[in-house]
Amino acid sequence: IVVAPLILAWAVRTRATWTPWKIAEGSLLVGLLSGVMYAIFGPGIASYIPSLPLTFAILPFIIWAAFRFRQREVATVNALVCAMAVWFTLEGSGPFAQGSLNESLLLLLAFMCTVVTTGLVLNAVIADHGRAVEAAQRLLRELREQTIRDPLTSLYNRRFLQDYLERELIRAKRERAPLALIMMDLDRFKRINDSAGHQAGDQVLVQVGALLKRHVRGSDIACRYGGEEFAVVLPKTTLESARRRSAEICSAIRREPDRLLGVTASLGVALCPAHATDAEGLVRAADHALYEAKRAGRNQVRIFAGPSDRAGETAE
- What is d(CA 97, CA 19) in angstroms, rounded to the nearest whole number? 40
What one-character-per-residue DSSP string does 263-280 give?
Answer: --EEEEEEEETTT-SSHH
Residues classed as catalytic:
228
- What is d(CA 67, CA 122) in angstroms, rounded to the nearest whole number? 8
- What is d(CA 259, CA 208) in angstroms, rounded to the nearest whole number? 9
Helix ranges restricted to H, 149-229: 158-175, 189-196, 198-214
- Note whether 313 and 296 are within 8 A (CB): yes
Residue 235 to residues 167, 179, 266, 282, Cα–Cα distance (Å) = 11, 5, 21, 13
- What is d(CA 282, CA 269) in angstroms, rounded to the nearest whole number? 9
Q: Kindly report the length of the chain.
A: 316
- What is d(CA 274, CA 220) in angstroms, rounded to the nearest whole number? 19
- What is d(CA 237, CA 180) in angstroms, rounded to the nearest whole number? 6
Instruction: Report angle CA 165, 170, 175 to the nearest 5 degrees.
Output: 120
Half-sphere exposure of 173 (CA within 13 A, CB side): 10
- Note whether 21 and 68 are within 8 A (CB): no
